Structure 1
Amino acid sequence: MADHYEVLGVSREATPDEIKKAYRRLARELHPDVNPGEDASERFKLVTHAYDVLSDPEQRQRYDLGGDGGGFGGAGFGGFGDIFETFFGGGGGQRAGRPRSRRERGQDALVRVTLDLKDVVFGIHRDIEVDTAVLCETCEGSCCQPGTREATCDICHGSGQIQRTVRSLLGNVVTSQPCNACQGYGTTIPYPCATCQGQGRVRARRTVSLDIPAGVETGLRLQLPGSGEVGPAGGPNGDLYLEITVTPDDVFSRDADDLLATLEVSMPDAILGTATTITSLDGDVDLEVRPGIQSGDVLTIKGRGITPLRGGTRGDLRVAVQVVTPTRLDAKERALIEDFAKKTKAPGPQLSQFHQGMFAKLRDRFRG
Structure 2
Amino acid sequence: MAAKDLYEKDFYKILGVGKSASGDEIKKKYRSLARELHPDKTKGDAAMEEKFKAVSEAYDILSDGKKRAEYDQARDMFERGGFRAPQGGQNFQGGDFSDIFGGGNPQDIFANLFGGGGRRGPRKGQDLQTEATITFKEAAFGTTLELRLSADGGPSQTISARVPAGVKDGAKIRVKGKGSRGEAGPGDLFILLHVKPHAVFSRKGENIALTVPVTFTEAALGGDIKVPTLAGDEVTLRIAPGTSNGRVLRVKGRGITKGATVGDLLVTIEVQVPQRVEGEALDALKKYAEATADQEVRKEFNTKALQ
Whether TM-score is above 0.5 comes out as yes
Instruction: Work out which of the residue numbers 201, 210, 234 in structure 2 matches 1:284.
Output: 234
1:301 maps to amino acid: V
What is the CA-CA distance between 1:312 and the residue it aligns to? 1.9
2:190 maps to 1:244 = no
Deviation at 1:303, TM superposition (A): 1.2
Structure 1 equivalent of residue 278 of structure 2: 330
1:119 paired with 2:70, answer: no
Task: Measure the CA separation in 2 of the matches of 1:275 and 1:128.
Answer: 45
CA distance 1:270–1:125, shift in 2 (3 Å): same
CA separation of 1:298 and 1:18: change in aligned 2, threshold 3 A: closer
How do 1:156-195 and structure 2 match up within 5 A?
A: none
Larger relative contact order (C-alpha < 8 A, sep ≥ 6)?
1
Give the CA RMSD over aligned residues: 3.6
Whether the 8 Å CA contact 2:161–2:175 is kept in 1: the answer is no
Which of 208, 226, 243 aligns to 2:159? It is 208
Q: CA deviation at 1:243?
A: 0.2
Specify the alignment match of 1:317 in structure 2. Answer: 265
* Alignment length (residue pairs): 204
Aligned to 1:302: 252
In the aligned structure 2, how far is the partner of 1:314 from the partner of 1:210? Answer: 24
Change (3 A) 1:318 1:346: farther
Which residue does 1:193 correspond to in 2? none
- Pair 1:128 & 2:77 matched: no
Partner of 2:53: none
Partner of 2:220: 271
Q: Displacement of 1:338 after TM fit?
A: 1.3
Counterpart CA distance in 2 for 1:106 and 1:204 is: 18
> 1:225 Cα deviation (Å)?
2.8
Of the three residues 156, 162, 177, the one matched with 1:226 is 177
Percent identity over paired residues: 30
Per-residue deviation at 1:213? 0.7
Q: Is 1:120–1:306's contact at 8 Å kept on the other side of the alignment?
A: no
Q: Counterpart amino acid of 1:222?
A: I
More helix by share: 2
Unaligned runs of 5+ in 2: 1-72, 98-102, 104-117, 303-307
3-state DSSP of counterpart to 2:219 = helix
- State whether residues 272 and 291 of structure 1, in contact with CA within 8 Å, keep that contact through their aligned partners in structure 2: yes
Computing the radius of gyration from Cα coordinates, the structure with the larger value is 1
Secondary structure, in 3 states, of the residue corresponding to 2:218? helix
Pick closer, same or farther for the CA change 1:348–1:240 going to 2, 3 Å.
Answer: same
In structure 2, relative to structure 1, the CA distance for the partners of 1:18 and 1:264 (3 Å cut) is closer
Q: CA deviation at 1:126?
A: 2.2
- Residues 97-112 of structure 1 aligned to structure 2 (within 5 Å): 105-112=124-131
- Output one character per residue of 1:138-181: Cα deviation in whole Å (capped at 9) or x when no partner: xxxxxxxxxxxxxxxxxxxxxxxxxxxxxxxxxxxxxxxxxxxx
CA separation in 2, counterparts of 1:317 and 1:215? Answer: 14
Letter in 2 for 1:221: K
In structure 1, list runs of 5 or more residues that go unmatched: 1-13, 28-47, 56-60, 62-92, 96-100, 134-201, 355-368
What secondary structure is seen at the aligned counterpart in 2 of 1:294? coil
Contact 1:298 1:318 in 2 (8 A): yes
Contact 2:173 2:190 in 1 (8 A): yes
CA contact (8 A) 1:303 1:313 kept: no
